[in-house]
Amino acid sequence: MKAFLILEDGTVFEGTHIGAVREIISEIVFNTSMAGYLEVLTDPSYAGQAVCMTYPLIGNYGICRDDMESERPWPDGFIVRELSRIPSNFRSDITIQQFLEENGVPGIAGIDTRALTRILREKGTMNGMITTDENYDLDAVLPRLRAYTTGKVVEKVTCREKYRIEPVASLEQNGPLSGAARFDREAYERGERESRPALVKELNGKGLKVALLDLGAKKNIARSLAERGCEVTVYPALTKAEEILADGPDGIMLSNGPGDPKECTSVIEEIRKLYETDIPIFAICLGHQLMALAAGADTHKMKYGHRGGNHPVKDLATGRVYISSQNHGYVVDTDRLDPAVAVPAFVNVNDGTNEGLSYTGKNIFTVQFHPESCPGPQDSRYLFDRFIHMMRRETSSCAEGRD
């Protein structure tokens, strides 16, 4: 079946329909990761957007449900050059086509995704429609596209009720320490999924209670803490600060999430209260932006954002550069940042935008990129250890993350 991608500027791409049969209007963004399409699809930060993968061959290894970063895919639509006709991976459960259909995500394949990317790069992120209606009326469609906003998507993606994630009891639970795992087909068929080689070498978070404010959290944030021994309680985005504080956490984690940070007015209110406490706080992505807004800084929308797994960020404390996983369309404005409130801790080597803040006189540090990776490089996972050090009130900064 034919499908069309119509952009706000009137550009129309004709391709083949994939996924569920549904017409959608969404904000069109592109992601440059070469692997990890499932993690991208299940990242709640993509709520309200349709994602174009710049890598042309998608679906090659099917869908390995274990790798989902939330319970369902969030993008409104999925745009690819080519969808693999068969999946090939020992863990693959279903094909990507089945997955998109199952979850009602429509998409388009067979278009020139590079041309689309170039348009978005030159003109900035814009809205678009994916439709199978060959008789679309451009004059009627374009005003609808321009009118679209992602809206208050955080409320859509956050969990409904708070829940607890048990910490791992022993290192073995995290999987083997090296790549020497063996695949056990029978155990796999029984549903016992083999663990990947562990990246964590010690349970340094044992006994620590972490409150994770779910603004659209990827699973690996909680997992990264739990596998270090932390006991994680996940709170819905609109939880009052008092409720979180009442549970007596050793540290608070603000997650990633979708949408315009400035629309999260009530969440910002609550974060301001958390800011006032002396509980260590670590925030990622949207959490980082909301903390900045709560502390009086400003954010703005980028032309086309950072979405991919190859962005270099420099840790200003050490001068070291790490390759990071990124997914954001807004950024904290450092021009008007009061150094008495916070100073830049990380900077993007490519375009000099802010990638992290260290809050002056506070036990708070926040990053724009994704140390939890999934998808993408695991280089900055050491930041979770740094957070654990903060919670333990240890002076050592755990600057170097490399094993």
Partner 1 sequence: MPKNPNVKRVMVIGSGPIVIGQAAEFDYAGTQACRSLKEEGVEVILVNSNPATIMTDRDIADKVYIEPLTVKVLEQIIEKEKPDSILPTLGGQAGLNLGMELEESGFLKEHQVTLLGTTAATIRNAEGRQEFKDLMERIGEPCAASKVVETVEEGVAFTDIIGYPVVLRPAYTLGGSGGGIAHNRTELEEILENGLRLSRVGQVLVERCIAGWKEIEYEVMRDSAGNCITVCNMENIDPVGVHTGDSIVVAPSQTLSDKEYQMLRTSALKIINELKITGGCNVQFALHPTSFEYCVIEVNPRVSRSSALASKATGYPIAKVAAKIALGYTLDEIRNAITKKTYASFEPTLDYCVVKIPRLPFDKFITAKRTLTTQMKATGEVMSICDSFEGALMKAIRSLEQHVECLLDYDFSALSKEELKQRLKVVDDQRIWVIAEAIRKGLSYDEIHAATMIDVWFIDKLAILVEMEQALKTRKLTPDLLREAKRMEFPDSVIARLTGRKEAQIREMRHENGIRAVYRMVDTCAAEFAASTPYYYSVYGGENEARKTEGRKKVLVLGSGPIRIGQGIEFDYCSVHATWAFSRAGYETVIINNNPETVSTDFDIADKLYFEPLTAEDVESVVDIEKPDGAVVQFGGQTAIKLTESLMKMGVPILGTKAEDVDAAEDRELFDRILEETKIPRAAGGTVYTAEEAKAVANRLGYPVLVRPSYVLGGQGMQIAISDQEIEEFMAIINRIAQDHPILVDKYLQGKEIEVDAVCDGTDILIPGIMEHIERTGVHSGDSISVYPAPTITRPVKEKIAEYARRLAKALHVKGLINIQFIAIGEDVYVIEVNPRSSRTVPYISKVTGIPIVDLATEVIIGKTIRELGYEPGLQPEADYFAVKMPVFSFEKIRGAEISLGPEMKSTGECLGIAKDFNEALYKAFLGAGVNLPKYKNIIITVKDADKGEAIEIGRRFEKLGYTIYATRSTAKALNDAGVKARKVNKISQESPTVMDLILGHRIDLVIDTPTQGRDKSRDGFLIRRTAIETGVNCITALDTANALLTSLENASSKLTLVDIAQL
Sole residue written with tokens 């449900």: 65
**312, 343, 363, 392: which one contacts partner 1 (CB under 8 A)?**
312
Query: Closest separation between CB of residue 54 and partner 1, Å?
Result: 4
Annotated active-site residue 64? The verdict is: no
Residue 310 sits in the site that holds partner 1 (CB under 8 A): yes
Give me the residues paired with residue 326 across strands: 308
Number of residues that bind partner 1 (CB under 8 A): 69
Please name the residues in contact with 282: beta carbons below 8 A apart, sequence gap of 6 or more.
Answer: 251, 252, 253, 254, 364, 365, 366, 383, 384, 386, 387, 390
Least distance between partner 1 and beta carbon 37 (Å):
8
Sites for partner 1 among residues 138-157 (CB under 8 A): none
How many CB atoms within 10 Å of residue 117? 20
Count CA atoms within 13 Å of residue 268 on its CB side.
Answer: 17
123 sits near partner 1 (criterion: CB under 8 A): no
**How are strands ordered across the β-sheet holding 364-367?**
163-165, 231-236, 209-214, 251-254, 281-284, 364-367, 354-359, 342-348, 298-315, 321-333
- Binding residue for partner 1 (CB under 8 A) from 9, 82, 263, 333? 82
Residue in 60, 174, 224, 256 binding partner 1, rule: CB under 8 A:
60
Which lies closer to partner 1 via its Cβ, residue 194 or residue 298?
194
370 annotated active-site: yes
Beta-strand runs (E) in 93-230: 106-109, 126-131, 163-165, 209-214
Active site residue 288: no
| Stretch in the footprint of partner 1 (CB under 8 A) among 116-124, 224-232, 237-245, 382-390 | 116-124
Binding mask 171-190 for partner 1 (x = CB under 8 A): ------xxxxxxx-x-----
Question: For residues 378 and 296, is the Cβ–Cβ distance under 8 A?
Answer: no
Residues in contact with partner 1 by the rule CB under 8 A: 30, 32-36, 38-39, 54-57, 60-61, 64, 67, 81-82, 84-86, 88-91, 111-115, 117-118, 121-122, 177-183, 185, 194-197, 199, 308-312, 314, 319-321, 323, 349-351, 373-379, 402-403
Active-site residue numbers? 285, 370, 372
